[in-house]
Amino acid sequence: MNVIWAPWRMAYIKRAGLSDGACIFCLPPEHMGPDRDRLVLYSDSAVLVMLNLYPYNNGHLLVAPRRHISALSEADSRERLALMDQAARATEILGAVMAPQGFNLGVNQGKVAGGSVEAHLHLHVTPRYLGDANYMTVFGRTRVISEHILTTFNQLVKPFNE
């Protein structure tokens, strides 16, 4: 039997049966700034940056427009610029705080493309480290995340809001 500890997921599991179907990226209009409960590191009127609750690696971020749109082609020029600016800023902050050797940046648009939240456009910023695709991923089809997600949140929230 494989046992993988992910204690932060219990809150999600308990909420799962109570979900109102709300979009994880849709914040109330008046909400600006970080939100630890939602793992939002940064938000302004155009875009938000949040930690991925199911990361590929420590520091895996999601950058999304505030407006509920499903495709990049639906974003206006302000939203597209904000998405790219925050993705670039995310790589700078993650580079300084977590020192990865590289990054994967990507958009999975539509369910068949791997979009897990296909109704709301978002961009993934995933830090990559030498050896992060180890035997656990290859043979065990299991990812090992070495740091609690709230520890990562605490490391990143200040640089995102300076």
CA distance 41 to 36: 7
124 is known as an active-site residue: no
User: CA 76, 70, 36: angle at the middle one, nearest 5?
Assistant: 95
CA distance 116 to 139: 24
The Cα-based distances of 3 to 58, 127, 142, 147 in angstroms read 19, 25, 10, 16
Catalytic-role residue among 60, 120, 122, 124: 122
CA distance 113 to 126: 17
> Which DSSP letter does residue 3 get?
-
Edge-to-edge strand ranges of the sheet holding 40-43: 40-43, 47-51, 61-65, 123-128, 102-106
Catalytic positions: 122
